[in-house]
Structure 1
Amino acid sequence: MTQSLVAHSGTFDIAGLGTVRRLGFGAMRITGPGIWGWPADRDQAKAVLRRAVELGVDFIDTADSYGPDVSELLIAEALHPYPEGLKIATKAGFTRQGPNRWIAVGRPEYLRQQVELSLRKLRVERLDLLQLHRIDPTVDADAQFGELADLQREGKVGALGLSEVTVAEIEAAARHFTVATVQNRYNLTDRRSEDVLEHSERNGIGFIPWAPISAGELAAPGGPVARAADRLGATPSQVALAWLLRRSPVMLPIPGTGSVAHLEENLAAAALELDDATYAEIDAAA
């Protein structure tokens, strides 16, 4: 496989960031179990990152809370100095208390602190894209949005985005800054963010679906995803990703893994085309 493979996914122009290939890489699962601590094999984790770039990925998504810190540090260890054109998105606003434990913290001083730390960990002078990982319900939302806008005006951040938000929250944030991306859970079996996706389409916002591969019973033997995979000589995961890429031109899937083989399987979805009938059958079932 060559760089031309991922190019089949097409491109999207993220406001304030520039053009990226639509199929990217999510760097959450290069950490330890429960998204906590270092992976058992650091060299393998770095090999995954390097292979992703070799195959044409130019958009990597991470967060300060993955590890915490581990994912950002590994990205820098594996890829710095960064190849031309590579864009790295990170997130702030979630704290960690142990494996699989997450608590939102959106105090302005905390968000500023985390941006400064991410700059150091990623070894950059400006973050390409910063996304508010969660809106802290205990802190005035305008204060959180305002701090992000200040960081952008100061040149510490290029583009700004949000994660796990409603349309109303996107509109509230847009009074402070241009919302470049939204990262909500979205896949074949969880389409509760359909209204957010449609809002993103209308406003040119990049939509980053997390947990993109989940297909549940649709991928079980005899299910529509499994049948499509058999017909196309593909895997159910590849079909799920191909469905997302066709679903919307603003869709930016970022499947993540700690395995080079699984990475290569996921990225091969860029070249998988679903015919109208197959897409419609899966869409109806979903």
Structure 2
Amino acid sequence: MPTSSTPSSPFTATGAPRAGGAGTIAGRTVSRVGYGAMQLERLHADRGAAVALLRRAVELGVDHVDTAQFYGDGFVNGVIRDAFRPEDGVVVVSKVGADPDPGGALPLRPAQRPEELRASVEDNLRSLGADRIPVVNLRRLDTGPGLRAEGDQLVDIDDQLAVMTALRDEGKIGAIGLSSVTLDGLRRALPAGIACVQNAYSLVSRDDEEMLRLCVEERIAWVPFFPLGGAFPGVPKVAEEPAVVAAARSLGRTPAQVGLAWLLHHAPNTLLIPGTADAGHLEANIAAGAIEFDDDTLAALDAVESRSADATLG
């Protein structure tokens, strides 16, 4: 991959060493290892534990958190509101494009129309207790099985970007990101100013390599979801790759840590948002940011075959 400079600030606002070093999103310096909050919903019965997990993340150098109003129908956003303090300097990134649907086959329904995107931003603001969200990702329904747009949910990306730009101009969001977007969609969106791209991507599923190169060139943060593959039928798993297992054994790390570390080494604009509801897994994920590879190990990992894989909504 092409190289790119990143900020050198080694500490977060709380004085913790940056997890994985320093990166950028929307002009803000953040730790390259952040936290994806979707799995906090698993702690619905123990809100205190959920808050404590986020406080632990801050202590470990996390200052970039990914969320959505449709995670737990507002529960996760409420935990974020309760857990973080202004002095923590945490950059909260949310997303729109779907709404909660607790009674549906999936707990989500598409919400792609411009008025729905605006309503979703307002819902996120309320549940986060915020006047402004630093970054909001427009979750397209272009890739992955999960939800698919039909009927009046088939909305041109230009119409969606018009309302997202208006929300940015109004100060309700700080920057616009894209999620599950095609290469053509990203190219069309560039004039609007795109801060980050979230697509399913891992060592074993690298269909978006050309898009990643474009993001490096345009200084757009690359924030992969399903960074270790997936637990769904037909989705390859990074931790099962022989080269990953061998690297983990030689380094005294877990295969999951090796898979996360490879992403950081592969492209300089990568920010990770691994999710967990377990404090031990949180610590392991953050520790992956300190892993270094020698040339032979990196070459062996780079040589792992990439297989196309569908991904559910992230």
Q: Which stretch of the first structure deviates more once superposed, 91-100 or 110-119?
A: 91-100
Shift of 1:218: 5.2
Specify the alignment match of 1:50 in structure 2: 55
**Corresponding residue SS for 1:285:** coil
Query: Deviation digits for residues 34-75 of structure 1, max 9, x if unmatched?
Result: xxxx62322222221111011010100111111121111111
**Corresponding residue SS for 1:76:** helix
Specify the alignment match of 1:25 in structure 2: 35
Shift of 1:282: 1.2
Aligned residues: 276
In structure 2, which of residues 278, 281, 301 is the aligned counterpart of residue 282 of structure 1? 301
Specify the alignment match of 1:225 in structure 2: 244
TM normalised by structure 1 equals 0.90
In structure 2, which of residues 81, 86, 92 is the aligned counterpart of residue 82 of structure 1? 86
CA contact (8 A) 1:44 1:259 kept: no
Shift of 1:104: 2.3
Query: Deviation digits for residues 226-255 of structure 1, max 9, x if unmatched?
Result: 111111111111100110000000111110
Relative to 1, partners in 2 of residues 1:182 and 1:110: Cα closer, same or farther, differing over 3 Å? same
Shift of 1:114: 1.4
CA contact (8 A) 2:77 2:127 kept: yes
Specify the alignment match of 2:76 in structure 1: 71
CA contact (8 A) 1:6 1:268 kept: no
Tell me how far apart the structure 2 counterparts of residues 158 and 11 of structure 1 sit (CA, whole Å). 20
Tell me how far apart the structure 2 counterparts of residues 23 and 283 of structure 1 sit (CA, whole Å). 21
Specify the alignment match of 2:21 in structure 1: 10
In structure 1, which of residues 109, 112, 115 is the aligned counterpart of residue 115 of structure 2? 109
Tell me how far apart the structure 2 counterparts of residues 283 and 201 of structure 1 sit (CA, whole Å). 18
CA contact (8 A) 2:179 2:197 kept: yes
**Corresponding residue SS for 1:174:** helix
CA contact (8 A) 1:257 1:263 kept: yes
**Corresponding residue SS for 2:224:** strand
CA contact (8 A) 2:200 2:225 kept: yes
Residue 165, structure 1, aligned to residue 181, structure 2: yes
Tell me how far apart the structure 1 counterparts of residues 19 and 167 of structure 2 sit (CA, whole Å). 35
Residue 121, structure 1, aligned to residue 127, structure 2: yes
**Corresponding residue SS for 2:38:** coil
TM normalised by structure 2 equals 0.82
Percent identity, aligned pairs only?
A: 40
Tell me how far apart the structure 2 counterparts of residues 49 and 108 of structure 1 sit (CA, whole Å). 32
CA contact (8 A) 2:69 2:127 kept: no
Q: Which stretch of the first structure deviates more once superposed, 156-165 or 118-127?
A: 118-127
Q: Which stretch of the first structure deviates more once superposed, 241-250 or 70-79?
A: 70-79
Relative to 1, partners in 2 of residues 1:78 and 1:85: Cα closer, same or farther, differing over 3 Å? closer
- Structure that is richer in strand per residue: 1
Residue 191, structure 1, aligned to residue 211, structure 2: no
* Unpaired segments ≥5 residues, structure 1: 33-37
Shift of 1:156: 0.7
Residue 263, structure 1, aligned to residue 282, structure 2: yes
Shift of 1:84: 3.9
Specify the alignment match of 2:312 in structure 1: none
In structure 2, which of residues 64, 67, 74 is the aligned counterpart of residue 59 of structure 1? 64
Shift of 1:277: 0.9
Q: Which stretch of the first structure deviates more once superposed, 228-237 or 192-201?
A: 192-201
